[in-house]
Amino acid sequence: MKTRIKIAIVLAIIIVVGFFVAQQFFPNPKKSFEQLVVKPVPNSIGTIEEGSFRTMDSVLRVLHFQISKTDLQSLLDSQHFAPIDESEEFKQWDQNSKSEVKIQKEDYLNSWKQRIHELTKLDVNFTKTWQIFVLKEGNGRKYFFFDTNSTEVVFIADAH
């Protein structure tokens, strides 16, 4: 009888540990969307691709999906996202001058494209037609990148 109880306890522990390990190694993009963006997930959203990168003091989480223009506008308005300030965002460190220099929109988008691919292994193809909205929260920022010619969206949560 005691052996059966011990086996049942061991099996329960294995199931609980397995559940937590599965959540860590097999993310659920829909749940991530609900945590990072809004709950419930709007009906116009189909497949969500997810990628993330974590260090001791920062996290980058990326969601790539399709959404209707109406639902996207509703999300931007309800959460108070604003168009990025190009004078603040379109900068990068110049090693030669040892200062920040202004960059073009294409360079800004390419730097995000490379960062997303290198850190999360997601492939996105930003072009000039993409618009960018931002929401600053504490030590982080949330971004919506969206293509004005399609329903493609990239959501980024970037915290340091």
Residue 27, pLDDT above cutoff 80: no
Quote the pTM value.
0.79
Q: What is the pLDDT of residues 136-152, one digit of tens each?
A: 988 899 999 999 999 99
Residue of 79, 35, 29 whose CA lies nearest to 49: 29
The residue to which tokens 């974590």 are assigned: 54
Buried b (16+ CB within 10 A) or exposed e, 117-145: eeebebebebeeebebbbeeeeebbbbbb
Q: What is the pLDDT of residues 31-78, one digit of tens each?
A: 988 888 888 899 999 889 999 999 988 899 999 999 999 999 999 999
Question: How far apart, in whole angstroms, are the C-alpha atoms of residue 66 and residue 151?
Answer: 5
Question: How far apart, in whole angstroms, are the C-alpha atoms of residue 105 and residue 128?
Answer: 7
Query: Would the CA dihedral through 20, 25, 29, 33 be positive or negative?
Result: positive
**Domain ranges for the chain:** 28-159
Contacts of 147 (CB under 8 A, 6+ apart): 127, 129, 130, 153
Question: How far apart, in whole angstroms, are the C-alpha atoms of residue 83 and residue 3?
Answer: 64
The residue to which tokens 């970037």 are assigned: 158
Tell me how far apart the terminal alpha carbons of the chain are, to the nearest angstrom.
Answer: 53
